[in-house]
Structure 1
Amino acid sequence: MKRIFMMLPIMLLFCSVMAQNTFRAKILNIQTKAPLKGATASIPGLKISAAADTSGLITIANIPNGKFEIGITYVGFAKSETVYTFPQKNPGQIVEISLEPSTGELAEVVVQTTRTNQNLRDVPTRIEALPQEELDEKSTMRPGDIKMLLGETTGIHVQQTSAVSGTASFRIQGLDSRYTQLLQDGMPLYSGFSGNLSLLQISPLDLRQVEFIKGSASTLYGGGAIAGLVNLISKVPGETPELTVLLNGTTAKGADASIFYSQKWQHIGTTIFGSYNYNGAYDPSKNGLSAIPQTNRFTINPKVFLYMDDHNSGWVGVNTTYENRLGGDIQVIDGKADNAHQYFERNKTFRFSTQLSFTHKIDGQNIVNFKNTVGYFDRQLGEQGFDFKGRQLSSFTELNYVRNAKKASWVAGADLITDHFTAKPPQSHLNYNLTTVGAFIQNTYKATQWFSLESGLRLDDNSPAPNQPSSGLFFLPRVNALFKITNHLTSRIGGGLGYKMPTLFNDESERDGYQHTQPLNIGNTRAEQSYGLNGDLNYRNKLGDEAVININQLFFSTRVDRPLILQNNFFINAPGYLTTQGAETNIKLTMDELVFYLGYIYTDTRQHFSGLTNTHPLTPKHQFSFDCTYEIEGSFRFGAESFYTGPQLLSDGTTGKGFVTFGLLVQKMWKHLDIFVNAENLTDRRQTKWGSIYTGNITNPDFKDLYAPLDGVVVNAGIRIKILN
């Protein structure tokens, strides 16, 4: 009997050990589905807690049998508290817990552009992000493209390149469009021959976040990211199925029909986006030319997501777009051409690209990523007496390794980029080939709670190589520092080198329609090389219980040596350099349902050629934006916005007028239905009001620089039906 009593405590201890359980959960942002690294789970009754790893996974071991409340917390998100019973019905399962961002600007945003999936506040590189809710608003304002989305972002200027076809490019901090990169999911799908049509062929309904880097981003993304980049982050399947249909019509003879579907099962998921966009030729100024061309566009973007196990996941996708865009003389578009009315511009394009992404999680800190895209773009550009046909075949392949530790994060990788352009006779002399092999490494070191340093290095080898001194080999260092001065005040300072290989595809050749453009000999032309610096101060704080204010002040300066210029139809290196410098101010005040936003940018871009200094044309020095939004979440939204664009120098030596535009949005939301009405440019600012936009005659017009809208007042209205949500 004595032995039995002696064994009883041992048996009880054994049973207690055997009754230990493990709780595993993946913590996600309910809106973006991004993992919340560093989220904390705690069990008050047991006085134990754990933090999420880089994939958002939390593991708590040694939980005894019974019922326990587990709380999940993350800065900027509402707390989740749930009672779980142990042992669980399915031991070892991973519970997905989605947290709702808190009201106001203090909510966290996870960014992908730096590859480490960190919180926006913790990244030394200055990144701006438009989250899902802002993209939902933009999709009702202009469902067919992202031209407005970029144009209303402080520091980004959308430049129309054709007066009758609507093609456009975007500039960051006063530098031409060839110095910027447009990415989707970190991959360059839109560049080269297709660049000036890209903004018009991407719908915001297919996006869950847009990230901006203003300033050199060449370390991770190579040549072309001198002024910065825009990364479009696509939607992914959520825990609940989604089926959204958007129908829209405009007073400018436009109509849009879009559909988005997503669903996730245990090991597979899918998203499918499709759209049809139509516009009739629209001439508000009655000058006989289309301010908006006649357009027919079809888009289908399906993706399949694979969730093989806890360590392996990936997705494959296809991007397909067909568009027929006809602008020019209204009589020609209507089929009533005669001897006087003959001018037109037709763009027939077909885009087909594949995307592949695969991620292997070695453990909670180490990840290997592989991604690839292959793009085919066929474009026929026809004008009166001229026909230009070309095909672009491009590819991007990258393998990278990411390590996220408590003090330091590493990103290292290599990529291969190919760009092959073939023009059909008689323009075969414009054929273009470029292959770039690159390797990069980046380290983010959190030295203290108040200081982090991000440094990177990239080495690119280009073939064929440009003229000396680089011979195609470019060494690109970059460094950025984050200072958390107080809980409310932070500062970022950084800079880096960049380069851009010589290319025919830029705004000047687009405006010319490639009619007179002469071939480019890369071996006889130097690459453009840049040096950039930027620094900002960011103040963020609560004002009382309901209000939040965020003030950001940015300063920037970039120099580009030997920029390409068009001279006598040949692209040559300018004898000198180009500089841009300025300041950008952003103020956002959130007061519960009411949000005010004020943006201002001062840009001074100058050419320093042959010992002379001149202002760079088509670059307004002053731009203001003001936005006010009142929103009752899930019920009602009202928005008013105004934009001022200051006078700007034109290439003929004259100065374009400054102008103000004004817009309104009203949207009523129910659980499964939204109705919206939006009006743009209510002040009816049109360049055609201030004079003719061309010289010569209507038969063969020679267009002037475009600096103001041509389409005038445009009102759109529509419905968004959320069948599954």
Structure 2
Amino acid sequence: MAVIMVVVCLSAQAQMVIIKGQVVSGESPVEFAHVILKGTQTGTVADESGNYQMVKIPAGTYSVEAVAMGYHRTEQTITVQSGEVAILNFTLEENSATLGEVVISGTMKEVSKLESPVPVEVYSPAFFKANPTPSIFESLQNVNGVRPQLNCNVCNTGDIHINGLEGPYTMVLIDGMPIVSGLSTVYGLTGIPQSLIERMEIVKGPASTLYGSEAVGGLVNIITKKPSSAPLVSADVFATSWAEVNTDLGVRYDLGKKISSLLGINYFNYQNPIDNNKDGFTDVTLQNRISVFNKFNIDRKDGRVFSLAGRYVYEDRWGGEMDWTKEYRGGDEIYGESIYTSRWETFGIYQLPTEEFVNFQFSANGHNQNSVYGSTSYIADQYIVFGQLTWNKILGAHDVLTGLAYRYTYYDDNTPATASADASNPKNEPSVTHLPGLFVQDEIKLSEQNKLLLGARYDYNSVHGSILSPRINYKWSSVNKKNVLRVSAGNGYRVANVFTEDHAALTGARTVEFEGELRPETSWNGNINFVKKIYTSSGLFIGLDASVFYTYFTNQILPDYESDPNKIIYSNLDGSSVSQGVSFNVDMAWESGLKIIAGGTLMDVSVEENGEKFRQLLTERFQGVWSVGYSFDKLGLVVDYTGNLYGPMRLPLLGDLDNRSEYSPWWSIQNIQLTKILGDKWEVYGGVKNLLNFTPPANSIARSFDPFDEGVVFDGNGQVVPTPNNPNALTFDPSYVYAPNQGIRGFLGARFTFR
């Protein structure tokens, strides 16, 4: 009997099959890939060389699937006979959502993110959906090294800081076109329909070689969807317990057979004055904003590109004393800051019908602003026209891009910025600037693993003369592309216009004073970036991204709030300033559905002048961000927990007697959201923002009870005299601001997508 059983077992084993092979991507093995017989419990994990083997498989026909984090699933069908050793190899393609994103910001042409010599961070719409906001300005609060900074406690205008550098050093582009600048640095990041955003690219460090002035600290490039890939209809509507309502609508349609179009509308409304800190002022500005965006793609012969887009934004916002109404606008009875903004933009790209790859890129915008800050008015018009011709040519190992650019800027306002320098003959003199430029870059492929990028730009500013901006970038990658090292150095420059960039200069709370003619700012930057991707046998993906950065400024223009509490004094720095630090990001994803993105930036931004070194105002030493998400696939439920943490910042005081803290505390904004997926068209989401209910102290606005300084005594030199009613020698001032005044609130929304 025992002999019979042994014979039966040996016969059964002889009928079993072995399936083995290798999993690769290109010429590189894919380590720890999962190979599964679909419909069974049988599977295995490839080793570090991508080799796998499954034994004791019954004869038959199977669907075999190879799965690896960062790659598209690949499935093959195989029929195996008894006793056969079957060889089945898999070639996986990189998943564009994780590894092979296409970016344009670093080199001004489409390349894989992995292949770009310039480090570019890419954020998808899914990243921002974890914490829905009514504007791109607010959505950047969860990006490491990037901070949306409020500049005024009353009207809540703001800008974007990158690695501790002020907002005017950050260039904002849409589809690679520099359309957000000057006046719209403050307002241009609101009203872009987020339903139309394909991705957001962020470059940290000078990009003036390609983009010219303003790209000193870095750039934010908003890439909108192509009409061909956008949903037919999309909608996203949410409201908060503070009575804020935000609506995003997107519609794709065709105009004939050759023109596809994408229409987007954003509407935001908030009309509920709240004063939780009891300082007599609105905690958040009341807003009524509408934005309309339309993009056209025109099919052309041989697939040549022709894309045209336009956007219009209108916003009416105000903040101030709780009993302010529009009848008090511009008066000195009840204090309010009221801003009417009307802005149009158009931009596009046209590929010339030539054998060579030549593109013409263009943009134009007009910005009209009518603002009052108490009894001080600021009325300004700005028009910018930009054109750029680029030629891209591959010559052996050299990938050459060269271009000619021209930018025309017209600016007029009712401030001293456009007043005649001749006091005996005062008149208005609008500022007109011509800025032609020439740039060239050469991306040299030294080997499969090494690239060198050399670039230089020459601009001629009609006011300030010649400006040269060189840069060099080097990239090394391992054979399997899971380790990438980038080293870069470059120069940045900026021509400043104080009144369009610094809200504090407009409020009327202080007198603006200039010391000499402001010269262009210059910076030199170095950056080392290392990226590592790890795939474990358990299916865990880990992405690591670490950077060391250093920026040295000369001629920097910094507002001096401290020499005189009644003035803002602008001048070129007689010395230098430095922004330096390290940043680290980690991205982890489990097959179970858990995803964690976290990062931190430790930095030192300091100024040295007249032998004295001090920290720059409103710049934190540490910033941390995180986003934790988990998907319950069987329930169709997603949980997201997001947050940020900021270290102390040095704040602008109003003199030695100001009893407010010189430094802000550690503070954090944290949010939680639940999203329920209902089929393939609907999502319902809701949650709580600012879980810790953090808000700045109630005395952030100095003398909020006396906004027109009626109870302030001044001496003959215009200095505040301490009195029993004003022992700390304060004047009304809203610039002591480091965090939003909006506390905890709930929100509820719904998304609809029809493809």
Give the drift of 1:705: 1.7
Secondary structure in structure 2 of the residue aligned to 1:578: strand
Matched, 1:496 2:497: no
Distance 2:120 2:321 in 1: 43
Counterpart selection for 2:663 from 650, 655, 674: 655
- Contact 1:239/1:263, CA 8 A, preserved across alignment: no
Distance 1:101 1:674 in 2: 28
Counterpart selection for 1:125 from 114, 118, 124: 118
Distance 1:100 1:292 in 2: 48
Give the drift of 1:336: 9.4
Secondary structure in structure 2 of the residue aligned to 1:151: helix
Amino acid of the structure 1 residue aligned with 2:638 = R
Amino acid of the structure 2 residue aligned with 1:641 = T
- Contact 1:311/1:361, CA 8 A, preserved across alignment: no
Q: How does 1:7-22 map to 2 (within 5 A)?
A: none
Matched, 1:684 2:693: yes
1:626 corresponds to: 626
Matched, 1:614 2:614: yes
Secondary structure in structure 2 of the residue aligned to 1:331: coil
CA RMSD of aligned residues (A): 3.2
Change (3 A) 1:517 1:267: farther
Write out per-residue CA displacement over residues 303-336 of structure 1, whole angstroms, 9 at most, x where no aligned residue.
Answer: 2210112242212221101111011111114979
- Contact 1:602/1:622, CA 8 A, preserved across alignment: yes
- Contact 1:343/1:698, CA 8 A, preserved across alignment: no
2:529 corresponds to: 536
Distance 2:632 2:104 in 1: 29
Amino acid of the structure 1 residue aligned with 2:462 = S
Q: How does 1:519-558 map to 2 (within 5 A)?
A: 524-558=517-551
Matched, 1:461 2:460: yes
1:644 corresponds to: 645
Distance 1:711 1:219 in 2: 39
Distance 1:327 1:293 in 2: 4
Give the drift of 1:506: 5.7
Secondary structure in structure 2 of the residue aligned to 1:195: helix
Give the drift of 1:299: 1.1
Count of aligned residue pairs for this structure pair: 629
Matched, 1:702 2:702: no
Give the drift of 1:516: 5.6
Matched, 1:108 2:100: yes
- Contact 1:135/1:207, CA 8 A, preserved across alignment: no
Distance 1:108 1:425 in 2: 49
Structure in which a larger fraction of residues adopt strand:
1
Q: How does 1:350-365 map to 2 (within 5 A)?
A: 350-360=342-352
Distance 2:604 2:413 in 1: 37
1:436 corresponds to: 435
2:748 corresponds to: 717
Deviates more, 1:404-413 or 1:192-201: 404-413
Give the drift of 1:584: 0.3
Distance 1:104 1:302 in 2: 26
Amino acid of the structure 2 residue aligned with 1:275 = N
Distance 2:363 2:540 in 1: 44
TM-score, length of structure 1 as denominator length: 0.81
Please, which runs of 5 or more residues in structure 2 have no aligned partner?
A: 1-25, 28-66, 78-91, 420-428, 561-566, 654-660, 709-731
1:383 corresponds to: 373
Q: How does 1:240-639 map to 2 (within 5 A)?
A: 241-263=231-253, 266-280=257-271, 281-333=273-325, 342-360=334-352, 366-404=356-394, 407-424=397-414, 428-429=418-419, 431-465=430-464, 472-485=465-478, 487=480, 488-505=482-499, 508-510=502-504, 512-513=506-507, 524-566=517-559, 568-592=567-591, 593-631=593-631, 635-639=636-640
TM-score, length of structure 2 as denominator length: 0.78
Larger CA Rg, structure 1 vs 2? 2
Counterpart selection for 2:151 from 161, 165, 186: 161
Distance 1:440 1:720 in 2: 44
Distance 1:426 1:497 in 2: 31
Distance 2:505 2:640 in 1: 35
Give the drift of 1:676: 0.8
Distance 2:610 2:631 in 1: 55
Secondary structure in structure 2 of the residue aligned to 1:573: coil
Secondary structure in structure 2 of the residue aligned to 1:460: strand
Give the drift of 1:405: 6.7
- Contact 1:388/1:427, CA 8 A, preserved across alignment: no
Amino acid of the structure 2 residue aligned with 1:419 = T
Distance 2:182 2:440 in 1: 26
Secondary structure in structure 2 of the residue aligned to 1:116: coil
Give the drift of 1:427: 7.6
Change (3 A) 1:720 1:100: farther
- Contact 1:115/1:402, CA 8 A, preserved across alignment: no
Amino acid of the structure 1 residue aligned with 2:445 = K
Give the drift of 1:521: 9.8
Q: Which runs of 4+ in 1 moved over 6 A?
A: 79-83, 334-341, 519-522
Change (3 A) 1:655 1:673: same
Give the drift of 1:130: 0.7
Change (3 A) 1:424 1:642: closer
Secondary structure in structure 2 of the residue aligned to 1:216: coil
Distance 2:611 2:100 in 1: 49
Amino acid of the structure 2 residue aligned with 1:492 = R
Give the drift of 1:368: 1.4
- Contact 1:331/1:337, CA 8 A, preserved across alignment: no
- Contact 2:227/2:296, CA 8 A, preserved across alignment: no
Secondary structure in structure 1 of the residue aligned to 2:114: helix
Distance 2:412 2:501 in 1: 19
Change (3 A) 1:540 1:406: farther
Give the drift of 1:100: 9.4
- Contact 2:313/2:342, CA 8 A, preserved across alignment: yes
Secondary structure in structure 2 of the residue aligned to 1:134: helix
Distance 1:556 1:253 in 2: 42
Write out per-residue CA displacement over residues 564-599 of structure 1, whole angstroms, 9 at most, x where no aligned residue.
Answer: 133554521121111010000101111121101221
Give the drift of 1:484: 1.1
Q: How does 1:162-177 map to 2 (within 5 A)?
A: 162-177=152-167
Give the drift of 1:341: 6.5
